[in-house]
Amino acid sequence: MPLTCKSCRTYLTAYVHGELTPRARRRVDAHLNGCRSCAAEYTRHSRAARDLRSTIVHMGQPSRTQLSTIWMAVQSDLEIPSKGQERRYSPLRVGAFAFVLILALMLPPLLNGERVYAQIPDPPTPLLMRVTYSVSPEAFLIRTTETREPRNRANREPHLMVLIQNIAPTPGATEQP
Amino acid sequence: MKTPTVEQHDINDLIACALAGEQVAFASLYEVFAPGVYRLCYSLLLNHHDAEDVAQETFVYAFKNLKRYDSKLSAFKTWLFTIAICRCRNVYRRGRPLLIELTTGLQNALHAPRSETPEAAYAHTSAKEELERALANLSPRLREAVVLRYGHGLTYREIAEIMDCPPKTAESRVRLAHDALRGALDPVGQGLLDELLSF
C-alpha cells in the first residue's frame, strides 16, 4: 500500500537518520520518487541534519589556554588528597595528640591526690550473704537471706541454705556475717 | 584544535601505564580526551565556566577511579562521557537556568574562511547563536542525545549506553531534538515568511 504525504512526512526524520526498517525505507523511497513536495521536504530535512552536524561539532571548541588551565586544576586536585593524608597521619602529629590525651586524663587525679573510681550502680535486688563455715575446712555452709531492703529487718529470715561440701553442719560451727 | 587519533589498544596501554603510576600517561589521556569532554560539557551547559568546572571534575573523578574502568564493558571515551553527563545533570539539578553568554559569539565565533564574505560570516555566527538558543530551550535529555549524535558522532548504541536508556529511546530522542532544532538553522527570512503564511 503506497504511503500518503502525511505519513511519509512523519517518517522523514527517521529516514534521514537511517532508522527505518528496510521495508519502510523502500516505501518512503517509492513515495519520494513520485512526490516533488515530499522530496523537497526530505531535502530540507537532510540539509538541517548536515547543518546541525557541522554547527554542533564546532560548538565550544576549547582553546589551548583553557585546556592547560583545566589540566593544572586536575593535577592539583589529584595531589591535594595525598598531601592531606600524609599530614593527617604523620607520626609526630599522632604522638602529640596521644600525649595531650594522656595528660588530660592523668592531670586531675594527680592534682587532687585522690583516686577516682567510677561509681558502682546499686543492684536492683541486692542479696546479703552470710557464710557459715565450720572449724573443719572441709565443710562450708552458705546462707542467703532475702533483703528487700530495709522494709522489715526483724522479719528477715533465711530462705535458702546451700551446703557446699558436707551436708550436715559440724558441731561448733561458727557464723560470720 | 585537532584531536589526536588514538587506537583503542593504545588507549588501553595508556590506561595500564597510568595505573602503574606514570604521570605522562595521565597527561596523554587528558590530551586525547579533554577537547571532546570540554565540547560535550559546553554544548550541554552553554557556559564556559560551568563547562570548565565539569570537565575538571570529570577528569579528577576518572583518574581517581581509573582502576574501576573495564575496557570490556565500554570504550574509555564512552566511560568519560558518562561521567561528564552525570556531572552536567548535577548542574541542571541546581536549578539554575542555562545562561547563554552574550560574549560567546565573540569569543568562540567560527572563523570564516578567507573566501567567505562578511555577510556570510555574520550569517554563520548568527546561525550558531540561534542554535545555542534553541539548544537551551530543549529538554536536557533531548539536548544530550542530539549533542552526542551530531557533535560527537556516536552511534545510537553508544548514546543509549551513556544516557542509560534503550537504543530505540536514544533514536527517538535524537529525532525529536532534530525536529525541534530544524527551525533554528533556517534563515530568519524563511522563518518570518512561514509565520506570516501561517496566519
Residue tagged 519502510 (cell numbers): A24
Min distance B67 CA to chain A CA atoms (Å): 15
Check CB contact of A18 with chain B, cutoff 8 Å. Answer: no
Chain A residue with CA closest to B28: the answer is A71
* Cβ <8 Å between B108 and A19: no
* A148: enclosing H helix or E strand: none
Provide the chain A residues 103-162 that lie in CB contact (below 8 A) with chain B.
none
Tell me the pLDDT tens digit for each residue of A144-171: 444 445 555 555 555 444 445 444 555 5
Residues A69 and A48 occupy one common structural domain:
no
**3 state SS of A160:** strand
Whether pLDDT at A95 is above 50: yes
A69 and A49 belong to one structural domain: no
Residue A17 at interface with chain B, using a CB cutoff of 8 Å:
yes
pLDDT band, residue B122 (cuts 50/70/90): low
Q: Do residue B165 and residue B191 come from a single domain? A: yes
Note down the domain range covering A108.
Answer: 65-112
The 10s digit of each residue's pLDDT in A2-30 is 788 988 888 887 888 787 889 999 999 99
Number of domains present in the structure of chain A: 3
- pLDDT digit string (tens) for B68-77? 998 888 899 9
Asked whether residue A117 is assigned to any structural domain, the reply reads no
Last residue within a domain, chosen from B101, B125, B141: B101
Residue with cell 512561514: B194
Q: Which of B45, B71, B101 is the last residue of a domain?
A: B101
Which cell goes with A155? 522479719
pTM above 0.80, yes or no: no
C-alpha cell at A169: 553442719
Same domain membership, residue A34 and residue A12: yes
Is B181 a domain residue?
A: yes
pLDDT band at A135 (very low <50, low <70, confident <90, very high): low
Predicted pLDDT of residue B179 = 84
* Structural domain boundaries, residue B128: 112-199
Q: B2 with B37, same domain? A: yes
Domain boundary among B81, B101, B121: B101
Question: Each residue of B138-148: pLDDT tens digit?
Answer: 888 999 999 99
How many domains, chain B?
2
Inter-chain CB proximity B42 and A16 less than 8 Å: no
Residue B8, sorted as left (phi over 0), alpha (psi -120 to 50) or beta, turns out to be alpha
Return residues 64-93 of A near B (CB < 8 Å). 64, 66-67, 69-71, 73-74, 77-78
Do B7 and B96 lie in a common domain? yes
B48 to chain A: nearest residue by CA?
A60
**Which among B145, B132, B42 has a CA at the least distance from the CA of B91?**
B42
- Give pLDDT, residue B161: 92
CATH number at residue B186: 1.10.10.10
Ranked by mean pLDDT, the top range of A133-147, A161-175, B91-105 is: B91-105
Report which of residues A111 and B93 the model is more confident about.
B93
Q: Which residue is associated with the grid cell 565500554?
A: B74
Predicted confidence at residue B180, as pLDDT, reads 86
